[in-house]
Amino acid sequence: MKNYKLLIEYDGTRYYGWQRQPDQNTVQGKLEAVLAIMCGREVEVIGAGRTDAGVHALGMTASVCLETDLSPEEIRDYMNRYLPEDISVLEVKEASPRFHARYNAIGKTYRYTCFDGPVKPVFDRKYYLRLDESPDLELMREAAEILKGEHDFRNFCVNPRMKKSTVRKVDKIEIVRRGGYIIFTFHGTGFLQNMVRIMVGTLLEAGYGRIGASEIREALVSTERRKAGPTAAAQGLCLVSVDYD
C-alpha cells in the first residue's frame, strides 16, 4: 500500500461539488469509482478542500492510498482513460506515507471571473459571472484592503453553525481588468464555505457604490450574515492551486 499525491483539474458545471454524497454526481465520487475498479477494492480520495456545486478547479490536490503494481504514470493514464471528459488527472506522484492533501495544505489560490463587456463570450459562458453594470475597480481595490489580513470571517461563511474557528488569513486580493473580463485573485491560508464567493459579492457591491468601508468593517465584526454582500454565482469560481511545504 502506497500513498499518492494527485493533481486534478475539472469543470464543475455538472457536479454537485467535490465531496462524495449519496445519489449525487460528485468529483470525489467519480475518482473513487475509477480507482476502485483499478484496485479491485474501495478507496478514499482525500481532497485539499471541498469545492461547492458548480465550482471549477485547475489545480486540486488530492491524496490516496493504493495497492497496485502500476507506476504513477500508468495510474494517471488509467484514470484519464475511464474518467469523464470534464475531469483530468494531470499528475500522479508517490508521496510520503504521512502526506495528507487537506491537513498538510498551507495555502490556496482562488480566481473569480466576471464579464461586463458589450458582447458576451459564448465559449467561456460556463466560467464567468455576467455583470449587468460595470463596477469601479478602484473602489473594489480599496474595499479589498479592508478584507486583507487575519479576521474572523464568520459572516463570510454560508454555514451559520460552523463549530470550528472561522478565523482566516487572506494575504492577497488582486483585481485586474483584461478587456471585458474582471478577474479577482485571492490567496490565503484557507477559506470557509462560500467565503470567496461572498467576498466577491461584497467587493462588487462596493464597486457599485452600494456599500462603503464602514459597512465592510462592520461585516467583519457583526454577528449578522446579511451585513456582508451577496454570494456570487458558483460558475465564476476556480481553485487555481494549493500550497504545501
> Which pTM was predicted?
0.95
Choose among 186, 184, 163: nearest CA to 243.
186
What would the mean pLDDT of 14-23 be, rounded to a whole number? 94
Burial 40-74 (b: 16+ CB within 10 A, else e): eeebebbbbbebbbbbbbebbbbbbebebeeebee
pLDDT tops 80 at residue 1: yes
| Residue range 193-225, pLDDT digits in tens | 999 999 999 999 999 999 999 999 998 987 666
Q: What is the pLDDT of residues 20-57, one digit of tens each?
A: 998 899 999 999 999 999 999 999 999 999 999 999 99
pLDDT at site 162: 72
**Rounded distance between C-alpha atoms, residue 190 and residue 213, angstroms:** 24
Of the residues 23, 52, 136, 245, which is catalytic? Answer: 52
Quick check: is 52 catalytic? yes
**Which pLDDT does position 222 carry in this prediction?**
77
Mean pLDDT over 185-194 rounds to 95
Judged against a pLDDT cut of 90, whether residue 137 lies above it is answered with yes
Q: At what angle do helices 213-221 and 195-207 cross, to 10 degrees?
A: 160
Please determine, for residue 226, whether its predicted confidence score (pLDDT) is greater than 80: no
Nearest to 38 by CA among 68, 1, 8: 68
Per-residue pLDDT at 121 exceeds 90: yes
Q: Residue 163 pLDDT more than 90?
A: no
Supply the mean pLDDT for the chain. Answer: 95
**pLDDT of amino acid 224:** 67
The backbone torsions φ and ψ at residue 144, rounded to the nearest 5 degrees and listed phi first, read -60, -35
Dihedral sign (CA 164, 169, 175, 181):
negative
Determine what percent of the chain is predicted with pLDDT higher than 90: 90
What is the per-residue pLDDT across 63-101, written as a single tens digit (0 to 9) for each?
999 999 999 999 999 999 999 999 999 999 999 999 999
- Domains of the chain listed by start with CATH number: 2-94 (3.30.70.580), 107-243 (3.30.70.660)
Instruction: Evaluate if residue 161 carries a pLDDT over 90.
Output: no
